[in-house]
Amino acid sequence: MGESPSDKYKRLRQLGLLSVIPMMLAAAPLIGYFIGRQIDRWVGTETIFSLAFLFLGLVAGVRETLSLIRKSEDPKSGPSD
């Protein structure tokens, strides 16, 4: 038989949350790199801050990805009534 409206909403919400992951994994390190590059220009260093902020961006992207995966699997994360 068909799904209830609540089940459809949960599936759409899960799809929306999970579809953000590739963009986040790409954007977070890029943002970190460009922030680090700008700091390198201001301070006058080679690539110290660029690499450090690139790494921090990677960590932030993975951390947020894991958080989104947990949210999508949480059965209590349905619509708030």
Which sequence spans correspond to the domains of the chain?
20-72
The span from the CA of 30 to the CA of 81, in Å, is: 38
The DSSP letter of residue 3 is P
Q: Is 53 exposed, middle or buried (0-12, 13-18, 19+ CB in 10 A)?
A: buried
* pLDDT of the residue at 81: 39
Residue 64 CB-half CA count within 13 A: 17
Residue numbers in the chain where pLDDT is lower than 70: 1-2, 75-81
Q: Are 33 and 54 in contact (CB under 8 A)?
A: yes
Q: Quick check: helix, strand or coil at residue 77?
A: coil
